[in-house]
């Protein structure tokens, strides 16, 4: 009886496996102007005070932007306070 349960478990796990592998790569695109951004973009920001933030843009205008950070919540940043900004991009590649 134990052997039967073991065989059934092996079949279940083998049937659930993916036939291909996928790899997710994260890369950062340097932002030169606010025109490259839109609501929903994920960004990585370093302020003039050397504070690093990463989050999604929830509001953007000529004066600054508001991002939602997973650890610190919603934060408003003025453009004059941003030292470096990168757009976070992810790509998925499939290998068969």
Considering the domain delimited by 21-95, tell me its CATH architecture: Roll (2.30)
Instruction: Report the C-alpha gap between 59 and 40 in whole angstroms.
Output: 9
Alpha-carbon dihedral angle through residues 52, 55, 59, 60, given to the nearest 10 degrees: 50
Strand ranges inside the chain, DSSP E = 21-30, 42-47, 52-60, 64-69, 73-78, 82-95
Domain boundaries, the chain: 21-95
Instruction: Report the C-alpha gap between 65 and 77 in whole angstroms.
Output: 5
At 50-69, the pLDDT tens digits run: 999 999 999 999 999 999 98
pLDDT category at 2 given cuts 50, 70, 90 is low
The pLDDT value recorded for residue 94 is: 73
At 6-26, the pLDDT tens digits run: 655 565 555 555 555 678 889
């Amino acid at each position: 009886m134990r052997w039967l349960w073991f065989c059934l478990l092996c079949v279940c796990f083998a049937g659930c496996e993916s036939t291909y592998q996928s790899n997710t790569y994260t890369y950062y695109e340097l932002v030169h102007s606010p025109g490259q951004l839109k609501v929903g973009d994920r960004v990585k920001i370093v302020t003039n005070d050397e504070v690093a933030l990463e989050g999604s843009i929830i509001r953007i205008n000529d004066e600054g932007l508001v991002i939602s950070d997973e650890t610190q919540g919603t934060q408003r940043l003025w453009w004059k306070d941003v030292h470096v900004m990168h757009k976070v991009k992810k790509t998925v590649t499939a290998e068969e």
